[in-house]
Chain A
Amino acid sequence: MTTDALPLVAGKVAARKLVVFACFLVTAITLIPVVMMVLVAFQSDGESMAAKPSFWPGSWHPENLTRAFDLVPLGKYLLNTVYFAAGTTVLETVTAALAAYAFARLRFPGRNWLFGVYLATLMIPSQVTLIPQFVLVAKLHGIDTWPGMILPHAFTAIGVFLLRQFFLGIPRDYEEAARLDGANRWQAFLRIIVPLAVPAIATLAVFKFIGQWNNLLWPLIISNSDATRTASVGLQVFQDTNGTQWNLLLMAATVTTVPLIVVFFLTQRWFVRGITMSGLGGR
């Protein structure tokens, strides 16, 4: 990689310095909201609610953390968010991998037709299924329960589609060799396909997890008590009851965002890969 792609300025050294400076500048600007979220979270009540907002805390108040937890059960909300995000992610990843294997490798009557049905639902926005899903969950007495929260969001077609594409790219020979050694389909799937497909499965899992951690609309309508309330909905409730208590509001926001940012940094290899795959591989 060279700077020749876009020779902006005659002097290469000057150009490089300019590029580095610009990178630092845009990164700093981009991070302002996240930094401010944390800074205000540690301000005193008076400082954070003053008519003229202050940026750098005049004094630091780490006790805001426990105060935020006292106002709403943030720990419970975080745990619920983990249940919700991990539950949908595990269920979707496992069932999608199994189904994708059938679509990619096994022959059965109606395969292409059925895959077509899966594909057809890819285009449909989630709001279309929102009301029927709500009606279904309500009729099955699933409001404010974990099955009601998790099941409707664990069987989307996108996982099956992505994993099938990936499985099709794995050479058949690997599997044939195992089959000749006496492995059945299930063993071939577990020992050959799954290990080879770890990058694709991890990518799907990371996207699903971050997406569901962010999901507001579904938990908003299904969860109506602390039993299943997730961080997104919990924050919204917090805003309703403590709207102008900026330091505590942003402390709650910080507390619920930090775990996701940690997950993001730990998994960003898959995350970036997933974005790249979806953008260049076509979907």
Chain B
Amino acid sequence: MSVDTLPVPATAPPRPTPEPTPRWRNRESLTAWLFLLPSLIGFLVFTAGPVVAAGVISLLDWNLFSPPTWAGLSNFARLGPDPTFWSALGNTAYFTFLSVPLTILVSLLLALLLNQGLRRVAVFRSLLLLPYATITVAVAFVWIWLYIPHDGLVNAVLGAIGINGPAWLISDTWAMPALVAMSVWKSFGFGMVVFLAGLQAIPQQLYEAARVDGSSAWQSFRNVTVPMLSPALFFVVVTSVIGSFQVFDQALIMTNGGPGTRTTTLVMYIYRTGFENYDQGYAAAQSLVLFAFIVLITATQFVFQKRLVHYDN
């Protein structure tokens, strides 16, 4: 870190003794540790420590009430034949697979719309961002109400155009898409704001140059907007995937994981295992597997990103 080197004069004569510098440094380190201390203690006890502890607990058989016993890797071995775990993993993947592309699409379309030289863009942006700043549990209630089977608002609208809507939240097929729709609504604002900022940062000359070259609107979009926006797109994809792998609140409130285990997500299963069945070792093992999946998927995305960046430039 060259920024942080002290301004030692280049013309300094050979030092008579090495004393002064260390003493100055010692004082600076002491000051540094004083500044660090409040954060560091809390960080070690409540963040870094628990990360290490999660690894240890995953190797224990522990219900919190009786002393833990050593379980080795058996908690991880239990995952294999556990149908609920696989179901939760599949549901989470399905949720991610549906919600991430939809969220990105809605965010991008709305950002493009807001970027059309509108006056009062900030007003629309605030109102469209509103769902992002609501309480998930509270708006989950409204969505249950919207999804009321026969004459709920969603099915009333579908009925008006001749579609006989399903009993969303209690339907094996439609419960998950219903959660996805709510989640897209709740979270598209984040991507929209990121994309809007990205669009506004694209130099107008690029579009003018493209037009001079005879590009159509679609070609400008494909050859200017998409590459220039790709870092923002990548960021939103990565954070959305990580976020959707941790989906919990709306599934707990709206479907409680049902019907059956159709909408039981990984985090919900971790919650059930740890705090309803008090099987802390197994829950810790599941949380580490969740972590491994997130790392794996994120790493894969970074590999793809390198290719895409190369391709675009």
Contacts and interface: CB of A to CB of B under 8 A. Distances in A.
A276 B199 CA distance: 11
A182 interface: no
B252 interface: yes
Contact of A98 (B35, B211, B246): B35
Given A40-B145, A253-B139, A30 B32 contact: no
Using C-beta atoms within 8 Å of the partner chain, give the interface range for chain A: 35 or more
Interface string B1-42: 101101000000000000000000100110111011011101
Contacts of B35: 98-99, 101-102, 106, 185, 189
B153 A36 contact: yes
B91 interface: no
B270 A261 contact: no
Contact of B232 (A95, A124, A279): A279
B124 A98 contact: no
Interface string B274-312: 110000100110011011001100100000000000000
Interface of B: 1, 3-4, 6, 25, 28-29, 31-33, 35-36, 38-40, 42-43, 45-51, 53-54, 57, 64, 110, 112-118, 124-131, 133-139, 141-143, 145-146, 148, 150-153, 185, 190, 193-194, 197-201, 204, 207-208, 211, 217, 220-221, 225, 231-232, 235-236, 242, 245-246, 248-249, 252-253, 267, 270-271, 274-275, 280, 283-284, 287-288, 290-291, 294-295, 298
Interface of A: 1-8, 15-16, 19-20, 22-23, 26-27, 30-34, 36-37, 40, 51-53, 55, 91, 94-96, 98-99, 101-109, 111-112, 114, 117-118, 121, 123-136, 138, 151-157, 160, 168, 172, 185-186, 189, 210, 213-214, 216-217, 220-221, 231-232, 235-236, 239, 246, 249-250, 252-254, 256-257, 260-261, 263-265, 268, 271-272, 275-276, 278-280, 282-283
9 A-B pairs with least C-beta separation: A155-B42, A279-B194, A99-B39, A132-B50, A132-B53, A253-B138, A264-B133, A108-B29, A106-B32
